[in-house]
Amino acid sequence: MSASIHNAIGIIPARYAAVRFPGKPLALIAGKPMVQHVYERARCAKNLARLAVATDDRRIADAVEAFGGEAIMTSPDSPSGTDRIVEAVGHLSYDIVVNIQGDEPILDAGGIDECVAALSENPDIAVATLAERIVSPDQLIDPNVVKVVNDFDHNALYFSRSIIPFPRGFEGPDGDMDLEKASKQLLYLKHIGLYAYRRDALMKFASMPPSPLEMIEKLEQLRILQSGGKIRIIEVGGRSASVDTPEDIAVVERLLSMQSGTQDSSS
């Protein structure tokens, strides 16, 4: 493993006062706080030299320290998870910073390793993130599922909450869009909100004002694209599941149970 890979830190931003789901990082999933699931998954990554949770709430920090994790206290005034990460690493000297979303409790640590390796092995890549194939028509029309389209070099062309690309020619007999057929025959990618940044790229990104497209879609990665930057997309297999509402917990618990059953049967 190269020195540059060893010089990578993973940060999980976690705040208590989420609008839609207050206290979400501490919500119990299969008996553990969600932040613990994310931390334990991320800790399996081989390409991180350090892992920490950045939070402005002592309750979250106490929970992290209780299960043996590292917590970095940040200001309650940080407007976003990215700003919280910048504050957490401001006095640290890591070359690569990985933003690990705190609402992905079934995170595959292999995706972290792939993003860090992409930056370590390719000096032209400043930002890398993950995507997986969409096979469900329900996800195509779900605005909480962010879609991404790439160029031939696997760099993002655009992220959107809408269906991209639009499946023209897939209308059914009634004139409505046949999303079942489109999702099976066309390549649709769901963005997984995990980012690896070179330190200078992260600092530049955080210093820029929000862009018009970012404000329309409420997707901060569009700030990078609209300013002319590039984001490398790494397609991964498996299945991700984010927790946006309390109702999502039951879905994640079912997936965890399925994963546990698969592991038990293969051992």
Concatenated DSSP letters of 144-212: TS-EEEE-TTSBEEEEESS-SS--TT-B-TTSSB-HHHHHHHS--EEEEEEEEEEHHHHHHHHHSPPPH
Q: Which residue has the tokens 């399925």?
A: 258
User: Which of 49-53, 97-101, 236-240 has the lowest average pLDDT?
Assistant: 236-240
User: What is the C-alpha to C-alpha distance for residues 130 and 120, in angstroms, rounded to an integer?
Assistant: 16
Instruction: Report pLDDT digits (tens) over 23-59.
Output: 999 999 999 999 999 999 999 999 999 999 999 999 9
Instruction: Report pLDDT digits (tens) over 103-123.
Output: 999 999 999 999 999 999 999
Query: pTM of the predicted model, to two decimals?
Result: 0.91
Instruction: Report pLDDT digits (tens) over 246-261.
Output: 888 998 999 888 876 5
- CB-count exposure of residue 142 (10 Å: 0-12, 13-18, 19+): middle
pLDDT confidence band for 140 (50 / 70 / 90): very high
Question: Tell me, what's the pLDDT at 261?
Answer: 59
- H/E stretch holding 53 reads strand 50-55
- The amino acid at residue 258 is M
Give Cα 129 distance to the centre of its chain.
8
- Say if residue 68's pLDDT is above 90: yes
C-alpha distances in Å from residue 212, one per residue of 149, 209, 217: 19, 10, 9
